[in-house]
């Protein structure tokens, strides 16, 4: 691996702790998994497996730290259905523990035609809205979220995700880079592929996974 690949981002301590936590919870697994793009990936991240109170509490803290370190300024959080709902809630709780009471909202998949009605649940969308998701694959969820936020008179100011796979999207850019370019908003992640490679490099028992992930990066990566 090159010296550049050995470097980790400014969020390195948090990212390494997060990767260890995700592996422990079997949210981050290694093997052979088919991605939405039809690629055979040697690793898979499923945030839906953060499925108990303690896991969600810690996950919210990881997100909150990454968001703070990113410098993105925001007024509220938006979690697109379905995974984004619990993610946004856990992050709002994490910020409340830090002394900042952050409003959050999420959308329904289908508009409700009774009771309060509408498609938005939670705080009204207003000001600078930070979109919360687990990963960015094709950028569809982000695009739909940006449009929904704009329709409601607010502004999407960025996206926070758990893992940036740093692999090619539709072209030479990564899916995250495409979102940044197409929507003109920043994206922050708790950890990325470079962080994962660094983690695996320092775990002798995972050397086999390191080689497979490195080979995958050489074929599809943008780093």
212 is catalytic: no
Q: What DSSP string runs through 89-126? A: HHHHHHHHHTT----EEEEEEEEE-STT-EEEEESPP-
104 in Cβ contact with 76 (< 8 Å): yes
83 is catalytic: no
Q: If you search the block for the tokens 């409601």, which residue do you land on?
A: 152
Nearest to 145 by CA among 179, 95, 94: 179
Out of 13, 24, 36, 112, the active site residue is 112
**Residue positions counted in the chain:** 223
Nearest to 83 by CA among 101, 106, 53, 65: 106
Q: In what order do the strands lie in the sheet with 128-132?
A: 118-122, 104-112, 76-79, 128-132, 155-164, 187-192
**Residues annotated catalytic, as ranges:** 112, 114
């Amino acid at each position: 691996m090159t010296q550049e690949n050995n470097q980790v981002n400014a969020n390195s301590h948090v990212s390494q702790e997060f990767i260890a936590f995700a592996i422990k919870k079997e949210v981050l697994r290694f093997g052979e998994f088919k991605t939405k793009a039809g690629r055979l990936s040697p690793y898979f991240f499923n945030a839906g497996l953060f499925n108990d109170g303690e896991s969600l509490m810690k996950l919210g803290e990881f997100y909150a730290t990454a968001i703070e370190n990113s410098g993105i300024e925001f007024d509220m959080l938006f979690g697109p259905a379905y995974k984004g709902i619990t993610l946004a809630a856990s992050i709002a709780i994490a910020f409340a523990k830090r002394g900042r009471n952050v409003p959050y909202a999420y959308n329904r998949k289908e508009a409700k035609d009774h009771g309060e009605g509408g498609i938005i649940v939670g705080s009204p969308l207003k000001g600078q809205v930070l979109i919360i998701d687990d990963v960015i694959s094709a950028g569809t969820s982000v695009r739909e979220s940006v449009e929904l936020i704009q329709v409601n008179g607010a502004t999407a100011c960025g996206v926070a995700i758990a893992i940036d796979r740093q692999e090619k999207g539709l072209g030479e850019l990564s899916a995250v880079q495409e979102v940044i370019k197409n929507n003109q908003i920043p994206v922050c992640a708790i950890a990325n592929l470079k962080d994962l490679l660094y983690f695996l490099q320092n775990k002798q028992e995972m050397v086999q996974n390191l080689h497979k992930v490195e080979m995958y990066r050489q074929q599809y990566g943008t780093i």
